[in-house]
Amino acid sequence: MRKREKVVLDFVAEFGISKATAYRYVGPDGELRALAKRALELQGAGQGKSS
C-alpha cells in the first residue's frame, strides 16, 4: 500500500495536479475511468483538424 501511495505522489508531483484530480481520471487499480477515456477520445478527435 505504501508503494502505491508513493507512486501516486510521484505522479501528481510530476504533472502538478492534486491526488483528487488524479483519482478522478485513474482508479486506484490504475485503470482509466470513463472521464479519462472521454478526454483521450476528444484529444484524438482534435488531432485530425487542420488550423
Q: Which tens digit of pLDDT belongs to each residue from 13-33? A: 999 999 999 999 999 888 999
pLDDT on residue 48? 63
CB 19 within 8 A of CB 10: no
Query: In terms of pTM, does the model score above 0.85?
Result: no
CA distance 1 to 45: 37
User: How many structural domains is the chain composed of?
Assistant: 1
pLDDT on residue 45? 86
Give the range of the structural domain holding residue 30, as residue numbers without chain letter. 2-47
